[in-house]
Amino acid sequence: MSYKVLVSDPLAEEGVDILRGFCEVDVKTGLDEDEIIKIIGEYDGLLVRSGTQVTAKVIEAADKLKFIGRAGAGVDNIDLDAATKRGIIVANAPAGNTLAACEHTLAMMMSLSRNIPQATASVKKGEWKRSAFMGVELNEKVLGIVGFGRIGQELAKRANALEMKVVAYDPYINVERAKELGVEVKTLEELIPVANFITVHTPLIKETRHMINSDSISKMKDGVRIINCARGGIINEDDLYDAIVAGKVAGAALDVYEEEPPHSSKIVTLDQVITTPHLGASTVEAQQNVAVSVAKQCIEVLKGGSAKFV
């Protein structure tokens, strides 16, 4: 039996090579929904990152599809209900980019605390404004981690090394694990007013959509700094914008946005907001890990086996 797999977002060569050893592979990136609908009927497998929206319409047109692989953690760009109804197995690669996303969060927190992107831009313009970029230290500051899963826990380890005081909220927290990491477990209501830095690491689900909003921000410390390297929509961007303009929030570091790319988002225009274009998982190592993981799972499923994740 010969199979065909469509790779519709950039996937590391290591994964594509593994697939090519087993079946025919087409790499066609940047297709819109209509273009995917036109061709998806030919394929047994579909591999995506976060760019391709695997909508109910795409799945409806996918007559032969048996497997959808997400080279990454979040499967929010795949209509899971529609896939389940058609008996299509959906799998992700949740652990392959954990360290990349964790290190990116750390880099964002440090850049935010020392105004590094703004100072870089200023020097490149020929300026020398040393007093304009006064920063704050991380040492002894309270880091509030919302969502204490894979990335949240790795971040806690590294924040300990920086001698930050780490507190965490997660409704399903492993209290023993938190204790081992020296992390104080709190409710969200307890965490919000004590943290100097708040970073979110939850999935985007009904319960987490806009969990950081004008109400929660009003209860935060004055001068709090907020980081989102998880999913756009966990923080209400309009509320965050207003709080930064009002001086309540000192700054924010965003890798993800309610709309990506954030063309119509006013928050990215603020000087106090530092931004990256959804780069959390963008390391050579992470992209190899996730590509190999989904490629192997795809082959397993096409051979009649089962997938490891989701």
Q: Which residues are catalytic?
A: 231, 260, 278
- HEC states along the chain? CCCEEEECCCCCHHHHHHHHCCCEEEECCCCCHHHHHHHHHHCCEEEECCCCCECHHHHHCCCCCCEEEECCCCCCCECHHHHHHCCCEEEECCCCCHHHHHHHHHHHHHHHHHCHHHHHHHHHCCCCCHHHHCCCCCCCCEEEEECCCHHHHHHHHHHHHCCCEEEEECCCCCHHHHHHCCCEECCHHHHCCCCCEEEECCCCCCCCCCCECHHHHHCCCCCEEEEECCCCCCECHHHHHHHHHCCCEEEEEECCCCCCCCCCCCHHHCCCEEECCCCCCCCHHHHHHHHHHHHHHHHHHHCCCCCCCC
**Segment interacting with ligand NAD (CB under 6 A) among 21-29, 143-151, 218-226, 297-305:** 143-151
Candidates 6, 8, 49, 289; binder of ligand MLT (CB under 6 A) is: 49
Candidates 25, 73, 112, 267; binder of ligand NAD (CB under 6 A) is: 73
- Please state whether beta strands 45-48 and 24-27 pair in parallel, antiparallel, or not at all (unpaired): unpaired
Does 261 sit behind a cis peptide bond, omega within 30 degrees of 0 on the bond before it?
yes
Q: How far is the CB of 151 from ligand NAD (least distance, A)?
A: 3
Candidates 11, 15, 43, 50; binder of ligand MLT (CB under 6 A) is: 50
Closest CB to ligand MLT among 54 and 164? 54
49 interface partner picked from ligand MLT, ligand NAD, none, CB below 5 to 8 A per type:
ligand MLT
Binding flag, residue 307, ligand NAD (CB under 6 A): no
Q: How far is the CB of 1 from ligand NAD (least distance, A)?
A: 34
Binding flag, residue 74, ligand MLT (CB under 6 A): yes
- Please state whether beta strands 67-70 and 89-92 pair in parallel, antiparallel, or not at all (unpaired): parallel
278-307: contacts with ligand MLT (CB under 6 A): 278, 280-281
Candidates 52, 97, 113, 265; binder of ligand NAD (CB under 6 A) is: 97
Say how many residues touch ligand NAD, by CB under 6 A: 30
Closest CB to ligand MLT among 159 and 230? 230
Candidates 9, 79, 239, 255; binder of ligand NAD (CB under 6 A) is: 255
Candidates 7, 47, 59, 73; binder of ligand MLT (CB under 6 A) is: 73
Q: How far is the CB of 260 from ligand MLT (least distance, A)?
A: 10
Interface residues toward ligand MLT, by CB under 6 A: 49-50, 72-74, 97, 278, 280-281
Interface residues toward ligand NAD, by CB under 6 A: 73-74, 94, 97-98, 101, 146-152, 169-172, 201-203, 207-208, 229-231, 255-256, 278, 280-281
